Chains A and B, each alone.
Chain A
Amino acid sequence: MKKGKKHVVLIVLLLLLVIVNLGAQAKSETTKKGTTVTVTPVGTYPVVTEPVSLTFLTLQPVFIEDLNTNRFAKYWNEKTGVNIKWETIPRDAVKEKLNIILASGDYPDVFFGLGSQEQGIGVSQEMTYGVQEHMFMPLNNLIDQYMPNLSKLLEERPGSRQFLTAPDGNIYGLPDFNECYHCSMSQKMWIYEPWLDALGLKMPTTTEEFHHVLTAFKTMDPNGNGKADEIPLAGAISGWNNNLETFLLNSFTYTNLVASLDANVNTAIGFYRDGNTIKTMVNTSEYQDALRYLAKLYHEGLVYPASFSQDSDQLTQLVEGPEQPIVGVVAGGYGGMFSIVGGERYRNYKPMAPLKGPKGAQFSRFFLQAPVIGNVAISKDCKNPAVVARMIDFLYTDEGTLMSNYGFEGEGWKWADTNDFGLDGEKAIYRLLKPWNDMDPQNDCFVMLGVRANTSRIRNGEAVDPNVDIFSAEGLEALLYQKTQELYAPYGYPELEIPTLRFLEEEDQAFASKRLAFANYARQSLVKFVTGVWDVDGNWNEYIKGLEKLDLQGILALNQKAFDRQNSAN
C-alpha cells in the first residue's frame, strides 16, 4: 500500500517539475509587425532614419552557432540600423513550412536563404507562392530603386534578369551568385598516368586512340601483377559527374544527357540550343554513332559493368580499395569524387581533354553558372520592403560578400597586396587568412547562407601561392582552374545550353508528367543500348517510335515556347 502511494507522489512531483521547467520557456508570441519607417538615400548607411525590427525566416544552418549572436549578423544590424528577429526552420522542412505559412497567415517579413537546395524556394515555388498566391511581393521596382549593386550585377550578365523573372513579368526572389569557373565544364575524365607510362602510350586525343588505350589497359597488365584484374574505364550512376557516358557522347554530338535518374529533368535530358531554336540530339544519327561506340566499348569488356548501377562511394572504393590500382580511366567532376584527395592515387590521375570523334565533334558539356534563385523573398505583409532591399543590397558589394563568406577583414581575410595574384593569374582582390571551413560551427560569418555576389571576378580574385603543387590537396582549386582552362575551355560552348525555363501553370499541368516520362525513357534507352540489351541498329526504329509516342515533338515545342517567352521578355 505504502509503495503505491510513493509512486503516485513521485509521478506528481516529477510532473510538476517538468511543468515548471517547460512553463519557464514558453513565451507569449504576440509581438506584431512594426510600422513603416523612412529609408535614407541609396548608398548611405544606416539605411533607415530610425531603428526598425524585421522578422527573417531562415534555415537553421549547421555551420553557424547562433544567428542571434552571430558577429556578422550583429555588424550588419548595426551598419544598417535594422534589428533582425531570426526564425529558423530545419533544412528539409521548407516545403511544409511554406504551406503552413501560406495557410495560417503567419508571414515573416523576409524569407532568407531558403533557395539553394532541393526542397527550397525554386521556380515552381515562385510560381505557387508568387504568381498564384501572392504571398511573395514583386521586387522589380525595389531592385531598380533601392538596389544599385544588384542592378549592376544583373546588367553585367545579359539574360540574368529574364532568368529571374516569373512568367507574369515579376521578380519574386533575389539571386545568389556563385560563378564557379571549373564547374562550368566539370564533365571531366581522368586517366591513370603511370599505366600510360608503363605501356609507353600517349594521352589519347581521339575516340580511336582512346579505344586503343583502353584495350591496352585491359590486355597488357599495366599494373604488373600478372593478373588480368584491370578495369579500363569506370564510372558511377550518381555523384558529381561520375557518369562516364556523357563525356564520350560529346565526341559525337553535343549533349547534356545523363543516365543518372536523379539528374535534373529541367537541364539534363538531351536538349540543346542552336541559335534561338531548341533541338534534341536523342534521335539523330550522330547520337546513334555515339551509342554504337559506347556499346562497342562495353561489349569488349572495357567498361566496368557496374558503372551504370553503382554510386560514387562504391566507385571510390573500387579505385582506392585494392592493394594495387586496378582502374585505368574514371569519370568525375574532380579527383575527390573517386579517390582520396592528396593521396597517392589521386595524384596520378590526370585530366583528359574531350576526345575528337570520327566526324570531328569535340565538346565540353557546359553547365551554365546561373544564379541560385529564391534566396531572398519578401512577404506581402512586410511593412518595410524598401528597408529590406536596401539592407540586402549591402550583401552584393565586395565587402558584404567577403564578410558574409569569411568574416571580418583582418581575421578571415584581407584585401590583397599589389604583388598577389589570383587563380586566373590576374591581380588578386583578397587573400584568405584562414582556410575556408563550412563544417565546424563558427559565429563570425554566414558562410553560405543567404545571398552573395560570389562572381567569377571574386572567386578568381582569391590570392593563390604561385608555387603550390597543383596535385596536392592545397593545390586543388589551382589544378581545376588551370586544367579546365587548358583542356576543357577550348571545347566549351555556353551558347549551346538552354537556360532554366519557366513554364506557365497550364503548361506544367499538361507537360510535367510527359517531360518526366520522356527523360526516363531517354536515359533508360541510353543504358539499354550501351549495355547491349538493345541493339543499336536493330532496335533503333523501335526506339525512335518510343520517343514519338512520348510526344518528343510536343515537348520540343513547349521548350521552344518557354524559351521564346523568356528570351523576348525584358
Chain B
Amino acid sequence: MVKKHSFSDISFDIVNRLFMIFCTLVVVYPIIYIVSSSFSSANAIIAGKVWLLPVEPSIKAYQAVFRNKQVVTGYTNSIIYTAGGTLISVFLTIAAAYPLSRKFLPGRKFFTAMFVFTMLFSGGLIPTYFVVRNVGLIDTRWAIILPNALSVWNLMVTLTYFKTSISEEMFEAAIIEGASDFRILQAIVLPLSQAIIAVIALYYAIGIWNSYFDALIYLKSSSKFPLQIILRNILIINQSDLSMGADMVAMARRQGMADVMKYALIVISSAPLLMIYPFVQKHFVKGVMLGSIKG
C-alpha cells in the first residue's frame, strides 16, 4: 500500500518543514529574546551582547519592578478589573445575543440596528466623560468596567453563532416540552455555545487587561490604577529628559536599568494572559467538535 514517495513529494515535505520551522522561529524568537533580556545584566544589554540566552544572569530587574508597591497594587487592580469585567461583559453579551437571535422577538431588526449604530457613531470623549461623571462613576472601579462592558462586535459574533449553529428543531422540541426561554437558554443554548463563550471571554479579558485609556481619564486615586498605567509610568520616568536630571550619578546608574526593566515589565504584564491561553485554547478546539444534531 505504501506508495513510494516521488522526489517532488520529498522535496515538498522538506521545503514545507523548513518553512514551518522558519515561521516558528520568527514567532518564538522575539519572546525568547525578551525573556532573556529581562534576566540579563544592564551592562550586557547596553553593549548589545544579548541575542539568545541571558548574559550575566540576574533578577535585578524583577526585584526593581516588584520593589515598587504600585506594581503590586496595579496587578491586583488589573486582576479585579479583568475578572469582574469579563464576567459582566460575557453576561451582558449573552443576555443581549439570545433574544436577538430568536426570530419571533418583536422589533428585532430595530434593536439590532440600534446596536450596530453604536459601532459606527459615538458621543466622543467629553460627552462620554459627562455621562460617566453624572452617574457618579468617576474615580470608582466601575468606571473601568461599565462604560465599555458590552462590545457590539462580540455581540454580533455571539448572535451569529446562536443563529447558525443551534438548529431551529432544537428550539421547537424544547418549546413542545414546555421549556421557557430561560430554560432554553440554560439547558440548550449555553451548553452548546461553550466554545463561543470561551472565545468572547478571552476577547474581553485581553481587551480589559490591555485597556488603558479609560483608567487614564476616569480615575483619580493611584490606588485604583490598573497595571498598564503603572507600567507606562515606570517606562516614561525612566526615559525622562536627561538635561532636567537632578544628579548625573543617579542618571548613570539608571541608564541601562531602564532597558532591563522594560523587558521585565513586558514579561510581567503579558504573563497572565500567556498562562490563561492554553486553558482557553482547549475550548477553541473542542468547540469545533461540538454539535447538537448527530448524523
A residues with CB within 8 A of B: 1, 3-5, 7-8, 11, 14-15, 18, 21-22, 25-29, 60-63, 65-67, 87-93, 96-97, 99-100, 103-104, 106, 116-117, 178, 180, 182-183, 186, 240, 313, 316-317, 320-321, 333-334, 336-337, 340-343, 367, 372, 405, 435-441, 448, 454, 473-474, 476-477, 480
Contact of B140 among A26, A100, A117, A183 (CB under 8 A): A26
Query: Counting chain A CB atoms within 10 Å of each CB, which of B48, B91, B254 scores highest?
Result: B48
Q: Nearest chain-B residue to A318 (Cβ)?
A: B48
Residue pair B126, A341 in contact (C-beta under 8 Å): no
- Give Cα A435–Cα B256 distance, bound, in whole angstroms: 18
- Least Cβ–Cβ distance between A321 and chain B, in angstroms: 5
Could you pull out 11 A-B pairs where Cβ atoms are within 8 angstroms?
Answer: A4-B186, A15-B91, A28-B136, A65-B70, A92-B236, A100-B217, A336-B251, A337-B242, A367-B243, A441-B70, A473-B253
* A4 with B191, Cβ < 8 A, contacts A436-B249, A437-B250, A476-B249 known: yes
Contacts of B138 in A (CB 8 A): 29, 106
Contact of B222 among A1, A60, A341, A477 (CB under 8 A): A60
B247 within 8 A of A: yes
Contact of A317 among B47, B130, B142, B232 (CB under 8 A): B47
- Least Cβ–Cβ distance between B138 and chain A, in angstroms: 6
* A372 with B244, Cβ < 8 A, contacts A90-B232, A341-B255, A473-B252 known: yes
- Give Cα A240–Cα B140 distance, bound, in whole angstroms: 41
- Give Cα A92–Cα B288 distance, bound, in whole angstroms: 44
* A100 with B69, Cβ < 8 A, contacts A4-B190, A90-B215 known: no
Q: Which of B210-238 contact A (CB under 8 A)?
A: 215-217, 220-225, 229-230, 232-234, 236-238
- Least Cβ–Cβ distance between B287 and chain A, in angstroms: 15
> Apart from A22-B84, A25-B140, A90-B232, what 11 extra A-B contacts exist at CB < 8 Å?
A4-B190, A18-B88, A26-B136, A60-B70, A100-B126, A100-B217, A103-B126, A334-B251, A436-B246, A438-B247, A476-B249
- Least Cβ–Cβ distance between A280 and chain B, in angstroms: 24
Contact of B186 among A8, A90, A99, A438 (CB under 8 A): A8
Contacts of A88 in B (CB 8 A): 220-222
- What 1/0 flags go to B31-61 for Cβ under 8 Å of A? 0000000000001001111000000000000
- What 1/0 flags go to B197-217 for Cβ under 8 Å of A? 000000000000000000111
- Give Cα A3–Cα B136 distance, bound, in whole angstroms: 38
List the 10 shortest-distance A-B pairs measured between CB atoms, nearest first: A317-B48, A341-B252, A320-B47, A18-B84, A26-B140, A240-B242, A436-B247, A4-B186, A93-B216, A87-B220
Residue pair A439, B43 in contact (C-beta under 8 Å): no
- Give Cα A417–Cα B148 distance, bound, in whole angstroms: 61
* A97 with B49, Cβ < 8 A, contacts A180-B243, A473-B253 known: no
Residue pair A26, B237 in contact (C-beta under 8 Å): no
B276 within 8 A of A: no
Q: Which of B122-138 contact A (CB under 8 A)?
A: 125-126, 129-130, 133, 136-138
Residue pair B49, A321 in contact (C-beta under 8 Å): yes
Category for how many chain B residues contact A: 35 or more
Q: Which of B142-199 contact A (CB under 8 A)?
A: 142, 145, 186-188, 190-191
Contacts of B90 in A (CB 8 A): 11
- Give Cα A553–Cα B178 distance, bound, in whole angstroms: 87
Contacts of A15 in B (CB 8 A): 87-88, 91
- Least Cβ–Cβ distance between A73 and chain B, in angstroms: 13
- Least Cβ–Cβ distance between B55 and chain A, in angstroms: 12
Residue pair B87, A473 in contact (C-beta under 8 Å): no
Residue pair A18, B246 in contact (C-beta under 8 Å): no
- What 1/0 flags go to B89-133 for Cβ under 8 Å of A? 011000000000000000000000000000000000110011001
- What 1/0 flags go to B231-273 for Cβ under 8 Å of A? 0111011101111111111111111110100000000000000
Residue pair A18, B83 in contact (C-beta under 8 Å): yes
Residue pair A316, B69 in contact (C-beta under 8 Å): no
Residue pair B220, A89 in contact (C-beta under 8 Å): yes
- Give Cα A27–Cα B139 distance, bound, in whole angstroms: 9
* A93 with B217, Cβ < 8 A, contacts A66-B222, A340-B46, A473-B252 known: yes
* A405 with B234, Cβ < 8 A, contacts A7-B190, A96-B125 known: no
Residue pair B141, A26 in contact (C-beta under 8 Å): yes
Contacts of A28 in B (CB 8 A): 136
B18 within 8 A of A: no
Contacts of A341 in B (CB 8 A): 252-253, 255
Q: Nearest chain-A residue to B48 (Cβ)?
A: A317
Residue pair A22, B248 in contact (C-beta under 8 Å): no
B4 within 8 A of A: no
Contacts of A182 in B (CB 8 A): 248
Contact of A320 among B46, B236, B246 (CB under 8 A): B46
- Least Cβ–Cβ distance between B246 and chain A, in angstroms: 6
Q: Nearest chain-A residue to B191 (Cβ)?
A: A4
- Least Cβ–Cβ distance between A467 and chain B, in angstroms: 16
Contact of B225 among A90, A96, A178 (CB under 8 A): A90
B64 within 8 A of A: yes
Residue pair A439, B186 in contact (C-beta under 8 Å): no
Contacts of B229 in A (CB 8 A): 60, 90
- Give Cα A108–Cα B266 distance, bound, in whole angstroms: 34
Q: Nearest chain-B residue to A108 (Cβ)?
A: B220
- Give Cα A1–Cα B240 distance, bound, in whole angstroms: 59
Contacts of A337 in B (CB 8 A): 242
Contacts of B240 in A (CB 8 A): 117
- Least Cβ–Cβ distance between A423 and chain B, in angstroms: 11
Residue pair B87, A18 in contact (C-beta under 8 Å): yes
Residue pair B186, A321 in contact (C-beta under 8 Å): no
Residue pair A178, B244 in contact (C-beta under 8 Å): yes
Contact of B243 among A8, A21, A99, A333 (CB under 8 A): A333
- Least Cβ–Cβ distance between A319 and chain B, in angstroms: 9
Residue pair B186, A178 in contact (C-beta under 8 Å): no
B294 within 8 A of A: no
Contacts of B225 in A (CB 8 A): 60, 90
Residue pair B246, A448 in contact (C-beta under 8 Å): yes
B67 within 8 A of A: yes
B11 within 8 A of A: no
Contacts of A93 in B (CB 8 A): 216-217
